[in-house]
Chain A
Amino acid sequence: GAGVSQSPSNKVTEKGKDVELRCDPISGHTALYWYRQSLGQGLEFLIYFQGNSAPDKSGLPSDRFSAERTGGSVSTLTIQRTQQEDSAVYLCASSLSLEGPRRTQYFGPGTRLLVL
């Protein structure tokens, strides 16, 4: 079956521009996560969505980062006024809401962002 998809696969932008990264979770998965993978910080949790509940934004590094999830499915991560330190691979993951805390997260291929 189809896995988590992300677009674009690569994005090059200029410092100060805004970017939007998209994630399509696995059909039926109500939980959605964003992570960031960078050379300096490794893999970091950014934000978590569960159904229609308010998202857990505890991992967002600054107020330039925001995310939304429309209709409980597709999610967009927006970075405003990008900085060079935002350069990283942004990974999206989704999971079923069943299994309680034992949820397995399935990851997409990521969006590689380069800020010049």
Chain B
Amino acid sequence: AQSVTQPDIHITVSEGASLELRCNYSYGATPYLFWYVQSPGQGLQLLLKYFSGDTLVQGIKGFEAEFKRSQSSFNLRKPSVHWSDAAEYFCAVGFILTGGGNKLTFGTGTQLKVEL
């Protein structure tokens, strides 16, 4: 069965510092990978996704992620964090359902705190 591991429950960075959030997945086939962000009281917003092709994916808000098949990883990065990036970040792998749907299996999330 597919699974996603986010080893860091909490991360604190200073504003302006670089950020890397780790994600490892387990999936038998070519994975469909996603990063979502959730601000307090809000739903999940898609940051970026990977399906195939270029392993470095650009997303919104200046985020990027790199797919590394050999390491089963899909880490999220940002070169300079802003205070508004404080939120919870979820990595997910998509599993194709019968009928064509895409069931997302999420990691447990990483809570990002930004110090001013």
Q: Given the complex, which residues of B lie within 8 Å of A101, measured CB to CB?
A: 32, 94, 96, 100, 102
Pairwise interchain contact A53-B102, C-beta atoms closer than 8 A: no
Contact B101 A33 (CB under 8 A): yes
Chain A residue at minimal CB-CB distance from B6:
A42
Provide the main secondary structure of the chain B interface.
strand
When C-beta atoms are compared, the residue in chain B nearest to A46 turns out to be B103
Q: How many residues in B have their beta carbons less than 8 Å from beta carbons of A? A: 27
Residue A102 contacts which of B51, B108, B109 (CB distance < 8 angstroms)? B51
In the complex, chain A residues 69-116 whose Cβ is within 8 Å of any chain B Cβ: 91, 93, 95, 97, 100-110
A-B contact count (CB 8 A): 67
Please give me the residue from chain A that is nearest to B51 by CB atom: A102
Is A43 an interface position by the 8 A CB rule?
Answer: yes
Task: Show 11 A/B contacts (Cβ-Cβ < 8 Å), sorted by A.
Answer: A31-B101, A33-B101, A33-B104, A45-B103, A45-B104, A59-B103, A97-B100, A101-B102, A105-B46, A106-B46, A109-B41
Query: Interface residues, chain A, CB within 8 Å of chain B?
Result: 4, 31, 33, 35, 42-43, 45, 48, 50, 53-54, 56, 58-59, 91, 93, 95, 97, 100-110
Since A59-B103, A101-B32, A103-B101 are in contact, a sample of 18 more A-B pairs with Cβ atoms closer than 8 Å, ordered by chain A residue number, is: A33-B104, A42-B108, A43-B109, A45-B103, A45-B104, A48-B103, A50-B101, A56-B103, A91-B44, A95-B102, A101-B94, A101-B100, A102-B102, A105-B46, A106-B46, A107-B44, A107-B45, A109-B43
